């Protein structure tokens, strides 16, 4: 198996690794921690979902409202992720390639949505677009629906997934410095050409990883979406909201079935990422040496 890390297997360099006993203890700590905090909740989801047999599981998934929720979730992610992708690339270019005043404030502002409670994220859009909000009366007069409709859900999702791509790209692009781009620019390359030919090949893995995470979070967001959704069955319920609704209807199996789809999605995301890392390990290692 090809590995990502640069350091060759530990046996060859005893001076730069820990004693065997320490390694075992550390591995045990890591494995136990992850098993307890991450694996166990995941197992619960699948055990509960399949507890009543595969037939019940399948029935829960092809339910009309569940399918509507799946469609809506896909739609929302299909809008929110590309939007944040473009933003993330632009923001990281700006922050990594230029020195300007207020940069650290800008970086903090980009991180800000991470620290805004999902509840608040929903609330702010209600304050702007709600019937009692700043733009509410104007929107109502023109028949534009944002809150309690798809646009509101998309906006709230964009907000909560805002920093993901930028967060992944900024450190990588900072590490790579500006020499390559400066060289390209002084040779007269066009800005976009420079980006696609010089920068993109260096950042594509981070970019992909950012997109995967952004997508996973976009599909899984609960708090913010629940404030702006209105919870109309079959219309404005995303998958996480559908999970809550089913749970509240004492349909625990169905709730966990939909939840398991989301968990499955999480696993597929992670599998894709791991596969790509494995497939292109050589390239990645070379890139890290820059």
Partner 1 sequence: MTRHTRLRSLAFAFGLAAFGLAGGASAADVSILNVSYDPTRELYKAYDEAFAAYWKEKTGDTVTVEQSHGGSGGQARAVIDGLPADVVTLALESDIDAIAANGGKVRKDWKGQFPDDSAPYTSTIVFLVRAGNPKGIKDWDDLVKPGIQVITPNPKTSGGARWNYLAAWAYANAHDGNDEAKTREFVTALYKNVPVLDTGARGSTTTFAQRGIGDVLLAWENEAFLALNELGPDKFEIVVPSLSIKAVPPVAIVDANVDQKGTRKVAEEYLNYLYSDVGQKIIAKNYYRPIKPEAADPADLKRFVEVKLVTIDDPQFGGWAKVQPAHFADGGIFDQIYKPSK
Partner 2 sequence: MAGAPSLALRKPSVIPGFGLTLGFVLTYLGLVVLIPLAALVLKTAGLGWSGFLAIASDERTIAALWLSFSLSLVAAAINAVFGLVIAWVLVRYRFPGRRILDAMVDLPFALPTAVAGIALTALYAPNGWVGQYLEPLGIKVAYTPLGILVALVFIGIPFVVRTVQPVIEDLDSEVQEAAATLGATRLDTLARIVLPTLIPALLTGFALALARAVGEYGSVIFIAGNIPYVSEIAPLLIVVKLTEYNYAGATAIATLMLLISFALLLAINLLQAWSRRGFDRG
Contacting residues toward partner 1, per CB under 8 A: 71-72, 74-75, 78, 126, 129-133, 136, 140, 145, 147-150, 230-235, 245, 247-250, 252
Q: Which does 223 bind (CB under 5 to 8 A by kind): partner 2, partner 1, none?
A: partner 2
- The reply to whether 105 sits near partner 2 by the rule CB under 8 A is yes
- Nearest approach in angstroms of CB 121 to partner 2 is 8
Contacts of partner 2 in 190-219 (CB under 8 A): 190-191, 194-195, 213, 216-217, 219
Structural tokens at position 203: 């950042």
| Helical H segments across 238-290, by residue range | 239-248, 252-279, 281-289
Structure tokens at 274: 């791991």
Report H helices in 101-199.
103-115, 118-129, 136-141, 150-160, 164-176, 179-186, 191-194
Q: Does 140 bind partner 2 (CB under 8 A)?
A: no
CB of 74 to partner 1, least distance (A): 6
Is residue 273 involved in binding partner 2 (CB under 8 A)?
yes
Residues 28-67 that bind partner 2 (CB under 8 A): 29-31, 33-34, 36-42, 44-45, 48
Give the one entry of partner 2, partner 1, none that residue 63 binds, where binding means its C-beta sits below a cut-off of 5 to 8 angstroms depending on kind. none
Nearer to partner 1, 131 or 272 (CB): 131
Q: Does 2 bind partner 2 (CB under 8 A)?
A: no
| Token pair for 233 | 């069955």
Torsion of CA 168, 170, 175, 181, to 10 degrees: 120
The whole-angstrom separation of Cα 187 and Cα 229 is 52
- 281 touches partner 2 by CB under 8 A: no
Give whole-number Cα distances, 68 to 63, 73, 117, 138, 266, in Å: 9, 9, 27, 30, 20
Phi, psi torsion values for 144, nearest 5 degrees: -95, 125
Between 94 and 208, CB nearer to partner 1: 208
Q: Which range touches partner 2 (CB under 8 A), out of 20-28, 50-58, 63-71, 145-153?
A: 20-28
List the one residue from 52, 61, 128, 281 that touches partner 2 (CB under 8 A). 128
Cα 54 to Cα 39: distance, rounded to the nearest angstrom: 22
């Amino acid at each position: 198996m090809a590995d990502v890390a640069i350091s060759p297997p530990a046996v060859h360099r005893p001076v730069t690794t820990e004693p065997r006993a320490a390694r075992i203890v550390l591995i045990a700590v890591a494995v136990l921690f992850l098993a307890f905090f991450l694996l166990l909740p995941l197992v619960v989801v699948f055990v509960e979902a399949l507890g009543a047999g595969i037939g019940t599981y399948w029935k829960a998934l092809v339910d009309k409202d569940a399918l509507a929720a799946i469609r809506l979730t896909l739609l929302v992610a299909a809008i929110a992720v590309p939007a944040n992708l473009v933003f993330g690339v632009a923001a990281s270019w700006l922050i990594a390639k230029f020195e300007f005043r207020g940069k650290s404030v800008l970086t903090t502002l980009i991180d800000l949505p991470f620290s805004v409670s999902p509840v608040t994220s929903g609330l702010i859009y209600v304050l702007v677009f709600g019937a009692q909000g700043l733009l509410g009366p104007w929107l109502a007069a023109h028949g534009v629906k944002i809150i309690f409709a798809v646009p509101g859900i998309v906006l709230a999702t964009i907000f909560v997934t805002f920093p993901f791509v930028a967060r992944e790209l900024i450190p990588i692009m900072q590490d790579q410095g500006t020499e390559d781009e400066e060289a390209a620019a002084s040779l007269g390359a066009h800005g976009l050409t420079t980006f696609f030919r010089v920068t993109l090949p260096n950042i594509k893995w981070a970019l992909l990883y950012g997109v995967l995470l952004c997508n996973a979070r976009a599909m899984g967001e609960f708090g913010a979406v629940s404030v702006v959704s209105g919870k109309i069955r079959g219309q404005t319920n995303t998958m996480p909201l559908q999970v809550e609704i089913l749970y509240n209807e004492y349909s625990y199996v169905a709730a966990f079935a939909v939840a398991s789809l989301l968990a499955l999605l999480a696993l597929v995301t992670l599998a894709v990422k791991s596969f790509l890392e494995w497939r292109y390990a050589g390239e990645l290692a070379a890139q890290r040496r820059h």
